Amino acid sequence: MTQDRNEIKEQPVENDINQDQVLEQWSVYVESTHKVSERRLKNNRFYLRLLIALLAVAGIGNELEVVTSAGVFFIGLIGLPFCVLWTFHILSYKQLNSGKYRVLWTLAEQLSFDPFKMEWERLQEGEKPSVYIKHTTVEVWWPRVFGYFYAIAALWGGLAVFNHSEYFLVGTIILSALWGLYAIVILLGKSPTQYYWDYTGN
Protein backbone atom coordinates (compact mmCIF):
# COMPACT_ATOMS: atom_id res chain seq x y z
CA MET A 1 0.00 0.00 0.00
CA THR A 2 2.83 2.36 0.93
CA GLN A 3 4.61 1.49 -2.34
CA ASP A 4 1.54 2.40 -4.40
CA ARG A 5 1.33 5.81 -2.70
CA ASN A 6 4.99 6.50 -3.46
CA GLU A 7 4.44 5.66 -7.16
CA ILE A 8 1.48 8.04 -7.33
CA LYS A 9 3.58 10.83 -5.79
CA GLU A 10 6.51 10.24 -8.15
CA GLN A 11 4.40 10.23 -11.36
CA PRO A 12 3.58 14.00 -11.44
CA VAL A 13 7.26 14.77 -10.84
CA GLU A 14 8.24 12.66 -13.88
CA ASN A 15 5.58 14.39 -15.99
CA ASP A 16 6.90 17.79 -14.95
CA ILE A 17 10.44 16.76 -15.91
CA ASN A 18 9.25 15.51 -19.31
CA GLN A 19 7.32 18.74 -19.92
CA ASP A 20 10.38 20.80 -19.02
CA GLN A 21 12.52 18.79 -21.44
CA VAL A 22 10.00 19.15 -24.24
CA LEU A 23 9.64 22.88 -23.52
CA GLU A 24 13.42 23.30 -23.71
CA GLN A 25 13.56 21.41 -27.02
CA TRP A 26 10.64 23.46 -28.31
CA SER A 27 12.35 26.74 -27.35
CA VAL A 28 15.61 25.72 -29.06
CA TYR A 29 13.71 24.75 -32.21
CA VAL A 30 11.79 28.05 -32.17
CA GLU A 31 15.12 29.86 -32.13
CA SER A 32 16.39 27.84 -35.11
CA THR A 33 13.15 28.64 -36.98
CA HIS A 34 13.65 32.35 -36.35
CA LYS A 35 17.22 32.09 -37.67
CA VAL A 36 15.90 30.59 -40.90
CA SER A 37 13.50 33.55 -41.22
CA GLU A 38 16.41 35.96 -40.68
CA ARG A 39 18.45 34.23 -43.40
CA ARG A 40 15.40 34.48 -45.65
CA LEU A 41 15.20 38.24 -45.13
CA LYS A 42 18.94 38.65 -45.79
CA ASN A 43 18.57 36.60 -48.97
CA ASN A 44 15.73 38.86 -50.15
CA ARG A 45 17.79 41.98 -49.45
CA PHE A 46 20.69 40.57 -51.46
CA TYR A 47 18.58 39.93 -54.56
CA LEU A 48 16.69 43.19 -54.18
CA ARG A 49 19.87 45.28 -54.04
CA LEU A 50 21.53 43.31 -56.84
CA LEU A 51 18.59 43.62 -59.26
CA ILE A 52 18.01 47.30 -58.48
CA ALA A 53 21.72 48.00 -59.01
CA LEU A 54 21.76 46.20 -62.37
CA LEU A 55 18.68 48.11 -63.57
CA ALA A 56 20.25 51.39 -62.43
CA VAL A 57 23.46 50.58 -64.33
CA ALA A 58 21.46 49.77 -67.46
CA GLY A 59 19.20 52.83 -67.28
CA ILE A 60 21.60 55.52 -66.09
CA GLY A 61 24.53 54.07 -68.01
CA ASN A 62 22.60 54.09 -71.27
CA GLU A 63 21.36 57.63 -70.61
CA LEU A 64 24.95 58.81 -70.07
CA GLU A 65 26.05 56.78 -73.11
CA VAL A 66 28.37 54.72 -70.96
CA VAL A 67 26.42 51.49 -71.47
CA THR A 68 25.59 50.53 -75.06
CA SER A 69 22.42 48.86 -76.32
CA ALA A 70 24.30 45.57 -76.29
CA GLY A 71 25.13 46.22 -72.64
CA VAL A 72 21.46 46.77 -71.79
CA PHE A 73 20.57 43.59 -73.66
CA PHE A 74 23.26 41.66 -71.77
CA ILE A 75 22.13 43.07 -68.39
CA GLY A 76 18.54 42.08 -69.20
CA LEU A 77 19.63 38.53 -69.97
CA ILE A 78 21.67 38.38 -66.76
CA GLY A 79 18.83 39.72 -64.60
CA LEU A 80 16.21 37.18 -65.72
CA PRO A 81 18.02 34.08 -64.34
CA PHE A 82 18.60 35.94 -61.07
CA CYS A 83 14.83 36.54 -60.84
CA VAL A 84 14.16 32.83 -61.37
CA LEU A 85 16.83 31.90 -58.83
CA TRP A 86 15.32 34.33 -56.30
CA THR A 87 11.91 32.71 -56.79
CA PHE A 88 13.34 29.25 -56.09
CA HIS A 89 15.11 30.56 -52.98
CA ILE A 90 11.81 31.97 -51.68
CA LEU A 91 10.11 28.61 -52.35
CA SER A 92 12.93 26.72 -50.62
CA TYR A 93 12.75 28.88 -47.49
CA LYS A 94 8.95 28.67 -47.49
CA GLN A 95 9.04 24.87 -47.57
CA LEU A 96 11.74 24.75 -44.88
CA ASN A 97 9.74 27.02 -42.57
CA SER A 98 6.58 24.98 -43.18
CA GLY A 99 8.39 21.80 -42.18
CA LYS A 100 9.86 23.44 -39.08
CA TYR A 101 6.47 24.68 -37.88
CA ARG A 102 5.03 21.19 -38.31
CA VAL A 103 7.80 19.85 -36.06
CA LEU A 104 7.03 22.58 -33.52
CA TRP A 105 3.36 21.57 -33.55
CA THR A 106 4.32 17.94 -32.93
CA LEU A 107 6.53 18.90 -29.98
CA ALA A 108 3.83 21.20 -28.61
CA GLU A 109 1.34 18.31 -28.46
CA GLN A 110 3.16 17.31 -25.26
CA LEU A 111 2.74 20.81 -23.80
CA SER A 112 -0.29 22.53 -22.35
CA PHE A 113 -0.79 24.67 -25.49
CA ASP A 114 0.87 25.69 -28.76
CA PRO A 115 0.69 29.44 -29.56
CA PHE A 116 1.89 28.98 -33.15
CA LYS A 117 -0.78 26.43 -33.99
CA MET A 118 -3.46 28.48 -32.24
CA GLU A 119 -2.40 31.55 -34.23
CA TRP A 120 -2.40 29.62 -37.52
CA GLU A 121 -5.86 28.23 -36.82
CA ARG A 122 -7.19 31.69 -35.99
CA LEU A 123 -5.80 32.91 -39.30
CA GLN A 124 -7.66 29.98 -40.95
CA GLU A 125 -4.32 28.65 -42.23
CA GLY A 126 -4.09 31.46 -44.79
CA GLU A 127 -6.90 29.98 -46.87
CA LYS A 128 -8.93 33.21 -46.84
CA PRO A 129 -7.12 36.40 -47.99
CA SER A 130 -9.76 38.46 -46.16
CA VAL A 131 -8.48 36.95 -42.89
CA TYR A 132 -4.75 36.66 -43.66
CA ILE A 133 -2.63 37.04 -46.78
CA LYS A 134 0.34 34.69 -46.64
CA HIS A 135 3.72 36.42 -46.53
CA THR A 136 5.10 34.21 -49.30
CA THR A 137 2.17 35.13 -51.55
CA VAL A 138 3.29 38.78 -51.41
CA GLU A 139 7.03 38.09 -51.23
CA VAL A 140 7.22 36.04 -54.42
CA TRP A 141 5.85 38.91 -56.53
CA TRP A 142 9.11 40.83 -56.11
CA PRO A 143 11.12 38.59 -58.48
CA ARG A 144 8.12 38.31 -60.82
CA VAL A 145 7.86 42.09 -61.19
CA PHE A 146 11.62 42.46 -61.57
CA GLY A 147 11.54 39.71 -64.17
CA TYR A 148 9.08 41.77 -66.22
CA PHE A 149 11.34 44.83 -66.20
CA TYR A 150 14.41 42.78 -67.07
CA ALA A 151 12.52 41.22 -69.96
CA ILE A 152 11.66 44.75 -71.17
CA ALA A 153 15.34 45.73 -70.88
CA ALA A 154 16.43 42.66 -72.85
CA LEU A 155 13.78 43.37 -75.48
CA TRP A 156 14.82 47.01 -75.90
CA GLY A 157 18.53 46.20 -75.98
CA GLY A 158 18.10 43.31 -78.41
CA LEU A 159 15.97 45.30 -80.86
CA ALA A 160 18.38 48.25 -80.68
CA VAL A 161 21.37 45.99 -81.39
CA PHE A 162 19.72 44.67 -84.55
CA ASN A 163 18.39 48.12 -85.54
CA HIS A 164 14.72 47.21 -85.10
CA SER A 165 13.77 49.67 -82.36
CA GLU A 166 10.54 50.47 -84.20
CA TYR A 167 9.16 47.13 -82.98
CA PHE A 168 9.76 47.98 -79.32
CA LEU A 169 6.21 49.24 -78.66
CA VAL A 170 4.62 46.17 -80.26
CA GLY A 171 7.03 43.90 -78.40
CA THR A 172 6.25 45.64 -75.11
CA ILE A 173 2.51 45.21 -75.64
CA ILE A 174 2.92 41.49 -76.41
CA LEU A 175 5.26 41.00 -73.46
CA SER A 176 2.89 42.87 -71.13
CA ALA A 177 -0.06 40.78 -72.32
CA LEU A 178 1.87 37.56 -71.71
CA TRP A 179 2.97 38.74 -68.26
CA GLY A 180 -0.61 39.76 -67.42
CA LEU A 181 -1.88 36.32 -68.49
CA TYR A 182 0.82 34.69 -66.38
CA ALA A 183 -0.23 36.81 -63.38
CA ILE A 184 -3.90 35.86 -63.82
CA VAL A 185 -3.03 32.13 -64.00
CA ILE A 186 -1.06 32.45 -60.75
CA LEU A 187 -3.77 34.44 -58.96
CA LEU A 188 -6.31 31.79 -59.94
CA GLY A 189 -4.05 29.10 -58.49
CA LYS A 190 -3.67 27.31 -61.82
CA SER A 191 0.11 27.49 -62.07
CA PRO A 192 1.87 24.15 -62.84
CA THR A 193 4.06 24.74 -59.77
CA GLN A 194 1.13 25.61 -57.46
CA TYR A 195 1.45 22.30 -55.61
CA TYR A 196 4.92 23.24 -54.35
CA TRP A 197 3.71 26.64 -53.14
CA ASP A 198 0.74 25.08 -51.34
CA TYR A 199 2.87 22.51 -49.54
CA THR A 200 2.68 23.03 -45.77
CA GLY A 201 4.98 20.33 -44.47
CA ASN A 202 2.35 17.57 -44.11
Q: Which domain holds residue 174?
A: 2-198
Q: What is the pLDDT of residue 191?
A: 79
C-alpha triplet 9, 13, 19: angle, nearest 5°: 145
Predicted structure pTM score: 0.80
- Residue 48, classified by CB atoms within 10 Å of its CB into exposed (0-12), middle (13-18) or buried (19+), is middle
**Residue pair 90/140 in contact by the 8 Å Cβ criterion:** yes
Give the single-character DSSP code of 64: T
Buried b (16+ CB within 10 A) or exposed e, 32-44: ebeeeeeebeeeb
CA–CA distance, 117 with 57 (Å, rounded to integer): 46
Q: What is the pLDDT of residue 11?
A: 46
Domain count, the chain: 1
Q: What is the pLDDT of residue 202?
A: 59
**Residue pair 68/156 in contact by the 8 Å Cβ criterion:** no
Q: Measured in whole angstroms, how far is the alpha carbon of residue 161 from the centre of its chain? A: 36
pLDDT in tens, 97-117: 888 888 777 777 777 767 777
Q: What is the largest CA-CA distance in the chain?
A: 100
Chunked mean pLDDT (size 10), the chain, 202 residues:
47 56 77 87 95 94 89 95 95 87 78 74 76 82 95 95 94 96 87 72 58
Q: What is the pLDDT of residue 54?
A: 95
**Residue pair 52/133 in contact by the 8 Å Cβ criterion:** no
**Residue pair 19/111 in contact by the 8 Å Cβ criterion:** yes
Give CA separation, 57 vs 72, 135, 136, 158, 182, in Å: 9, 30, 29, 17, 28
- Name 78's Cβ contacts closer than 8 Å, sequence gap at least 6: 54
Query: Which residue in 202, 163, 196 sits closest to 92, CA to CA?
Result: 196
pLDDT in tens, 84-98: 999 999 999 988 888
